[in-house]
Amino acid sequence: MTSVNSFHLALNIPGKFPKLDIKVSLNGNGLSTSVYYKPTDSHSSLLHSSSHPSHVKNSIPFSQFLRLRRLCSDDSDFPNKSEEMCHFFKKLGYPDSVVNTAQHRAQQIVRQSALQTSQKEKNERIPFTQTNHPHINLAAKNIILKSISSNKCCGAY
């Protein structure tokens, strides 16, 4: 620690310091990372009762647990932080089955592979964006599907 602080007077790294949502701690000759929540963090996310499609709502817990998997450099830190996150999602009305499945899926991922950039296939579809409302979404979906089925030039989706 003294050698890092001696590079420049402006560098004075304490034992632990939060930066954004990451807590970085000095650990012997290395660093360890974990999640950090600001005291004002309300842990708010999309309510499960919202009118968003279920696949959107159900993907949020997994993405947040995967984020934890990436942030927690110590494997023993992940279970504690993920239990804490389970409580956040339960307060937002997420079913236990959705939260527990997401937590379990993320726990099965080795941290090193979670840190790797995914190689997704190139998607050449044109995105369609609209205001989210259950009745509008259903009507738009029916119109698009009807158009695709009557217009074979659009390709199979």
Q: Which residue blocks in the chain are alpha helix, DSSP H?
A: 2-5, 54-71, 77-91, 96-107, 111-114, 134-150
Output the pTM of the full model: 0.68
Q: Are strands 16-19 and 30-35 parallel, antiparallel or unpaired?
A: unpaired
Determine the average pLDDT of the residues in 130-157: 68
Judged against a pLDDT cut of 90, whether residue 91 lies above it is answered with: yes
> For residue 90, what are its two tokens?
């339960």
Return the structure tokens found at 75: 């494997």
**Using one digit for the tens of pLDDT, what is the confidence trace for 28-72?**
888 888 998 888 888 889 999 998 989 999 999 999 999 999 999
3-state class (DSSP) for residue 30: strand
Quote the CA–CA distance of 103 and 73 in Å, as a whole number. 17
The per-residue pLDDT for range 107-142, each reduced to its tens digit, is 999 888 888 887 777 778 777 777 777 666 677 778
Q: Is the pLDDT of residue 92 over 90?
A: yes
Asked if 105 and 62 count as a contact pair (C-beta separation under 8 A), the reply is yes
Q: What was the pLDDT predicted at 98?
A: 96
pLDDT at position 103 over 90: yes
What are the residue boundaries of the structural domains of the chain, listed by start? Answer: 2-114
